[in-house]
């Protein structure tokens, strides 16, 4: 035996000769089944092994030179300058050759050892270096590890030894760990967990550690499967009503027993942080050799142990840096076990990995949102562990990807998560449409999905499924919906893109703008794509060394890493800022960044005391601040630069092949032509080019729709005409919410909107919010509904009930007020709606004061200065709010009435303000009203001139 230090690979590199081999037929020794293509054969596709041609349906390798294959990546020089990376001495056999013990990723098997150290390098593997000698691949002798083997580091060796004992005796077999997930918005949290009994799940919440008082939230439970001979049930609970900058405690009721209380905090809604990670891939250390045992590759059970420790480090070190993060985002492949064959033992191995993922204590109070990676897609564990919000339950492959697309709002950030294994472009369009429709006014939009569409990853980023299918579809959607940041994983390297904007007229299909770390990018257009590296270091791959047209930076540190997104709001300048940084776990040194993006806050009217519009884009009025719409009878600011609202669900024309038994085994059927590079067609299986396995079917099957979207695709957008209520209209035009109650339409036979997935409105008097080719749309019970419009209006109908008021019983009731909803009278000190019919239309007495007051207000609004315009608008809104308040309450005798002083020639016109406050200051104008009117005080903030009678 001899001792070799970890510096050996660097010494080895110095002796390697970069000799060039022309016409290198690499494919002939990959699996031993592929020939090389004839000269000048066009490239059919490219993957991590090389470039492939296709002749008569058979793949062949396109010859290259060995120099072209040098995709190896060295350790950064600074790696050895940090005490955290000081390594132990390792004892290995004399003439040690790693490739005798480790199956390489490149060839799928063990390699012979190189006879000489002076050979060309083909590539770096995580356990050693592959050379090329005598027309074949070989393993260079020596010991080196390019993955995060926790045995090798002096700094954490003792801690890891103690952890291994706890893992084996306490941690590993606990499959009932809780998952804390974001809710639909920042006021909610979703909880998910396994239980061994079918008892009602509940979460108890209190603001006090002693849990008194408390509120119980009850959820739902369903059977999942047996694991290791034990039945497990999936539990899901949602809690709501959470306030910002607060402290709470919660208890879980597990197997009908309340657990100890856990503390969690909510933070400043204007200044907060997200952590993001790529591919924890717990269990991915399987197959590596370690410092303590260089001749025995790790089993998946032992690999999970190593990765569980590293994942704990990633969580605790990222919190050490960020202090108080609000969310953790993980871009997929949280676990490693595929469970492709469906053996019970494989499910048990996968649950060991989930147990490790949910083990860190901070994750009991830090919500974690995850996406599905290609390693998790073959089981339903993702669905049963996590409780995703706003889940898309009806994708084209609902059996294979149930609810794996979802979205949520957190403060001023919209986060959309897409499932890119089985998902089709039509699925993505529908999820994006729904997310924008529900949360249109966030300042920032982030999308997360597993596959990296703009990176330099060697193993996946150039696969045809990514470049030809995912990239053209998703690039257009990201640009159309003005996505600021995309987070990916999959390739186990770090890569940061330029600002990407889809452009069909460009040769590459996009435009890109270089970014400079530390420079603030103000009001820029485009999407920033980040591919996060493996956050445990279980698998660390190489990258394509030449820079692509879209890359801004890329590297491989061969260490665990994570990213941080800082969100800030400057209330003085009314701007918001997003800053993205990337860090190394062990040292907390900055790997890349900061990339800083700044823009004006989207909801510009909030600083003036008004919300932004959520359903209308039509301007009621405009001033120097911007365009103003009306919703709920109140002014709202219109965000002009954003996209229109689309209320029409996406309809797909894709016909999926179903004539095979693959679905029984958890796989789809193949489209025609889906043989793939790694085909095993003799067993009835094909490969979905770079994504997942499918089962072969008859030759007359449909051909896969490629590209998924035409080059000139533009998402379906309805150009709507919008009916706007007047300023005195109290109708509720709010956007849709999840799980609304469904009203019964007035006539189901006439309900045209049911085939489109929406009920008809039960009340035809609801205001029209959108009009498209299908008909008129409104909102009822917090859900979109189709209006059934009669050709002739119904007479003698009490239209004011929908606004909470009875109709006037006396047909002679005089009109006291008139707005867009109808004519209003007063009976028994309460507002009532005057019904129009043939019997009393000609007998009503109408006052003229309303019309005069309206004219006066309009004149004041248009003739005041810029500053006064805002003030007048606020005063107008106050008047409107007063009218609304009066309509909603009875006219009580306790209302204070200010006696009208004698006229001095400066009295206030009808309906004008005569007391209260203006812009927070005491009103100092005249308190007398013109003849026939009196000054009525509604509250300390507002008094108005109303008729004496």
Domain boundaries, the chain: 24-139, 157-186+269-602, 613-637, 653-671+685-696, 912-947
pLDDT (mean) for 852-874 = 28
Distance separating alpha carbons of residues 539 and 560, to the nearest angstrom: 10
| DSSP-based three-state secondary structure for 717 | coil
Q: Which residues pair with 150 in a beta bridge?
A: none
407 pLDDT higher than 90: yes
pLDDT (mean) for 163-168 = 96
pLDDT (mean) for 152-176 = 95
647 pLDDT higher than 80: yes
* pLDDT at position 136: 85
Q: Could you tell me which residues come within 8 angstroms of residue 921 by beta carbon, excluding any fewer than 6 positions away?
A: none
Cis check: omega of the bond before 594, within 30 degrees of 0: yes
Q: Which two tokens stand for residue 72?
A: 């190896």
Q: Which two tokens stand for residue 107?
A: 């060839």
Distance separating alpha carbons of residues 735 and 720, to the nearest angstrom: 15
At residue 448, what are phi and psi to the nearest 5 degrees?
Answer: -130, 130
DSSP class of 460: S
| DSSP-based three-state secondary structure for 823 | strand
Distance separating alpha carbons of residues 224 and 231, to the nearest angstrom: 8
| DSSP-based three-state secondary structure for 725 | coil
In 3D space, the residue among 484, 477, 373, 474 whose CA is nearest the CA of residue 419 turns out to be 373
CA dihedral in degrees (157, 161, 162, 164; nearest 10)?
130
Q: Which two tokens stand for residue 935?
A: 């000054």
pLDDT (mean) for 505-514 = 90
DSSP class of 112: P
**157-186+269-602 CATH:** 3.60.21.10
792 pLDDT higher than 50: no
Distance separating alpha carbons of residues 265 and 829, to the nearest angstrom: 48
**Cβ–Cβ contacts within 10 Å for residue 498, how many?**
22
Cα-Cα end-to-end distance for the chain: 109
Give residue 107's pLDDT band: very low, low, confident or very high (50, 70, 90). low
253 pLDDT higher than 70: yes
pLDDT (mean) for 729-752 = 39
Distance separating alpha carbons of residues 929 and 898, to the nearest angstrom: 10
For residues 737 and 782, the answer to whether their CB atoms sit within 8 Å is yes
Distance separating alpha carbons of residues 279 and 535, to the nearest angstrom: 6
808 pLDDT higher than 90: no
pLDDT (mean) for 683-704 = 58
Contacts 24+ apart (CB under 8 A), 154-162: 154/86, 154/87, 154/88, 155/83, 155/84, 155/85, 155/86, 155/586, 156/309, 156/313, 157/88, 159/309, 160/309
* pLDDT at position 79: 64
Cis check: omega of the bond before 556, within 30 degrees of 0: no
Give the distance, in angstroms, between the CA of residue 785 and the centroid of all CA atoms in the same chain.
27
Instruction: Give the position of tokens 């000048």.
Output: 40
- Element (H or E) spanning 236, and its range? strand 230-239
* pLDDT at position 632: 76
- Per residue in 118-155, pLDDT (tens digit) is 888 777 788 888 888 888 889 988 887 889 999 999 99
Give residue 30's pLDDT band: very low, low, confident or very high (50, 70, 90). very low
Name the percent of the chain lying above pLDDT 90.
42
* pLDDT at position 46: 74
Distance separating alpha carbons of residues 633 and 728, to the nearest angstrom: 6
217-219-225 Cα angle (round to 5):
150
For residues 394 and 652, the answer to whether their CB atoms sit within 8 Å is no
* pLDDT at position 878: 30
For residues 529 and 484, the answer to whether their CB atoms sit within 8 Å is no
Higher pLDDT, 627 or 189: 189
Q: Which two tokens stand for residue 662?
A: 């693959």
pTM above 0.75, yes or no: no
Give the distance, in angstroms, between the CA of residue 935 and the centroid of all CA atoms in the same chain.
53
869-873-876 Cα angle (round to 5):
135
pLDDT (mean) for 896-921 = 60
Give residue 769's pLDDT band: very low, low, confident or very high (50, 70, 90). low
Distance separating alpha carbons of residues 523 and 443, to the nearest angstrom: 11
The rounded mean pLDDT for the chain is: 78
For residues 457 and 491, the answer to whether their CB atoms sit within 8 Å is yes
633 pLDDT higher than 90: no
* Ramachandran bin of 257, using left for φ above 0, alpha for ψ from -120 to 50, beta for the remaining angles: beta
Per-position DSSP letters for 537-585, written without gaps between them:
-S----B-SSPPTTEEEEE--SS-EEEEEEEEEETTTTEEEEEEEEEET
Radius of gyration in angstroms for the set of CA atoms belonging to the chain, rounded to a whole number: 33
308-313-315 Cα angle (round to 5):
95
For residues 105 and 78, the answer to whether their CB atoms sit within 8 Å is no
85 pLDDT higher than 80: yes
Distance separating alpha carbons of residues 11 and 181, to the nearest angstrom: 47
* pLDDT at position 479: 96
* pLDDT at position 78: 60
Q: Which two tokens stand for residue 381?
A: 């564990």
Give residue 334's pLDDT band: very low, low, confident or very high (50, 70, 90). very high
Give residue 108's pLDDT band: very low, low, confident or very high (50, 70, 90). low
* pLDDT at position 513: 94
| Burial group, residue 533, by CB count within 10 angstroms (0-12, 13-18, 19+) | buried
**Helices and strands (DSSP H and E) totals, the chain:** 10, 49
Distance separating alpha carbons of residues 894 and 890, to the nearest angstrom: 11
Distance separating alpha carbons of residues 640 and 626, to the nearest angstrom: 9
Name the percent of the chain lying above pLDDT 70.
72
614 pLDDT higher than 90: no
Distance separating alpha carbons of residues 740 and 123, to the nearest angstrom: 56
844 pLDDT higher than 50: no
> Strands 933-939 and 942-947, how do they pair?
antiparallel
Give the torsion sign (CA, 398, 403, 409, 415): negative
* pLDDT at position 367: 98
* pLDDT at position 731: 33
Higher pLDDT, 608 or 17: 608
Distance separating alpha carbons of residues 313 and 307, to the nearest angstrom: 10
70 pLDDT higher than 50: no
């Amino acid at each position: 035996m001899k001792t070799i230090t970890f510096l050996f690979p660097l010494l080895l590199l110095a002796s390697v000769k970069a000799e060039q081999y022309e016409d290198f037929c690499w494919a002939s020794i990959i699996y031993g089944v592929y020939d090389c293509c004839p000269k000048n054969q066009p490239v059919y596709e490219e993957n991590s092994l090389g470039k492939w041609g296709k002749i008569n349906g058979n793949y062949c390798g396109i010859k290259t030179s060995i120099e072209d294959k040098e995709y190896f990546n060295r350790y950064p020089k600074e790696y050895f300058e940090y005490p955290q990376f000081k390594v132990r001495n390792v004892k290995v056999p004399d003439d040690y050759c790693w490739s005798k013990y480790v199956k390489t990723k490149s060839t799928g098997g063990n390699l012979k050892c190189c006879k000489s150290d002076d050979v060309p390098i083909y590539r770096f593997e995580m356990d050693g270096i592959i050379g090329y000698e005598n027309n074949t691949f070989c393993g260079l002798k020596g010991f080196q590890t390019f993955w995060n083997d926790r045995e090798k580091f002096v700094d954490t060796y003792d801690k890891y030894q103690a952890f291994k004992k706890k893992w084996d005796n306490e941690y590993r077999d606990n499959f009932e760990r809780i998952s804390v997930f974001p809710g639909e918005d920042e006021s909610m949290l979703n909880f998910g967990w396994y239980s061994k009994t079918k008892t009602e799940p509940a979460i108890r919440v209190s603001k006090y550690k002693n849990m008194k008082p408390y509120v119980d939230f009850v959820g739902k439970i369903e059977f999942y499967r047996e694991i290791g001979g034990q039945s497990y049930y999936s539990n899901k609970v949602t809690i709501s009503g959470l306030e910002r900058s607060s402290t709470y405690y919660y208890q879980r009721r597990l197997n009908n027993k309340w657990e100890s209380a856990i503390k969690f905090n909510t933070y400043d809604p204007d200044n907060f942080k997200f952590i993001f990670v790529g591919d924890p891939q717990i269990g991915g250390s399987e197959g590596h050799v370690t410092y303590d045992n260089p001749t025995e590759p790790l089993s998946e059970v032992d690999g999970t142990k190593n990765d569980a420790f590293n994942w704990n480090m990633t969580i605790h070190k990222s919190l050490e840096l960020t202090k108080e993060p609000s969310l953790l985002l993980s871009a997929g492949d949280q676990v490693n076990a595929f469970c492709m064959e469906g053996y019970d033992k494989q499910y048990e191995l996968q649950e060991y990995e989930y147990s490790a993922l949910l083990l860190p204590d901070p994750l009991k109070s830090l919500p974690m949102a995850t996406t599905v990676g290609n390693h998790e897609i073959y089981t339903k564990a993702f669905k049963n562990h996590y409780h995703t919000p706003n889940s898309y339950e009806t994708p084209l492959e609902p059996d294979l990807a149930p609810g794996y697309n979802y979205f949520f709002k957190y403060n001023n950030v919209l986060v959309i998560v897409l499932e890119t294994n089985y998902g089709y472009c039509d699925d993505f369009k529908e999820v994006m449409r729904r997310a924008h429709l529900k949360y249109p006014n966030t300042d920032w939009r982030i999308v997360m999905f597993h596959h990296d569409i703009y990176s330099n990853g060697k193993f996946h980023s150039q696969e045809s499924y990514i470049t030809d299918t995912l990239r053209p579809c998703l690039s257009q959607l990201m640009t159309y919906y003005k996505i600021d940041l995309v987070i990916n994983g999959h390739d186990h390297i770090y890569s940061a893109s330029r600002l990407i904007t889809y452009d069909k007229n460009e040769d590459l299909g996009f435009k890109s703008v270089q970014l400079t770390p530390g420079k603030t990018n103000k009001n820029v257009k485009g999407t920033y794509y980040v591919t996060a590296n493996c956050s445990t270091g279980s698998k660390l791959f190489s990258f394509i060394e030449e820079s692509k047209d879209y890359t801004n930076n890329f590297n491989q540190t061969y260490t665990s890493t994570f990213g941080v997104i800082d969100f800030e709001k400057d209330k003085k300048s009314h701007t918001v800022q997003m800053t993205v940084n990337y860090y190394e776990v062990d040292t907390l040194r900055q790997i890349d960044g900061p990339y800083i993006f700044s823009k004006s806050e989207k909801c510009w009217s909030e600083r003036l005391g008004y919300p932004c519009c959520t359903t209308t884009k039509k301007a009621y009025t405009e001033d120097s601040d911007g365009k103003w719409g009306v919703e709920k009878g109140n002014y709202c600011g219109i965000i002009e630069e954003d996209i229109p609202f689309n209320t029409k669900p996406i309809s797909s024309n894709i016909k999926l092949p179903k004539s095979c038994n693959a679905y029984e085994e958890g796989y789809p059927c193949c489209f025609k032509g889906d043989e793939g590079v790694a085909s095993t067609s003799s067993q009835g299986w094909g490969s979905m080019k770079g994504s997942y396995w499918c089962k072969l079917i008859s030759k007359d099957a449909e051909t896969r729709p490629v590209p998924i979207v035409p080059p000139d695709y533009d998402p379906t957008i309805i150009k709507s005409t919008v009916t706007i209520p007047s300023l005195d209209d109290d109708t509720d035009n709010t956007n849709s919410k999840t799980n609304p109650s469904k009203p019964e339409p007035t006539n189901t036979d006439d309900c045209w909107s049911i085939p489109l997935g929406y009920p008809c409105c039960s009340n035809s008097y609801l205001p029209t919010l959108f009009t498209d080719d299908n008909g008129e749309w409104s909102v009822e019970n917090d859900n979109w509904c189709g209006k059934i419009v009669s050709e002739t209006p119904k007479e003698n109908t009490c239209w004011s009930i929908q606004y909470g008021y009875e109709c006037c019983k006396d047909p002679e009731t005089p009109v006291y007020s008139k707005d867009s909803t109808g004519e209003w009278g007063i009976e028994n000190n309460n507002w009532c709606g005057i019904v129009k019919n043939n019997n009393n239309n000609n007998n009503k007495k109408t006052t003229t004061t309303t019309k005069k007051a309206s004219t006066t207000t309009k004149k004041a609004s248009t003739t005041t200065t810029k500053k006064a315009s805002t003030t007048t608008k606020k005063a107008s809104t106050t008047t409107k709010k007063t009218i609304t308040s009066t309509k909603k309450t009875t006219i009580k005798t306790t209302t204070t009435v200010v006696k009208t002083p004698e006229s001095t020639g400066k009295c206030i016109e009808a309906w004008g303000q005569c007391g209260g406050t203006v812009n927070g200051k005491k009103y100092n104008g005249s308190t007398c009203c013109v003849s026939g009117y009196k000054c009525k005080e509604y509250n300390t903030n507002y008094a108005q001139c109303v008729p004496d009678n």
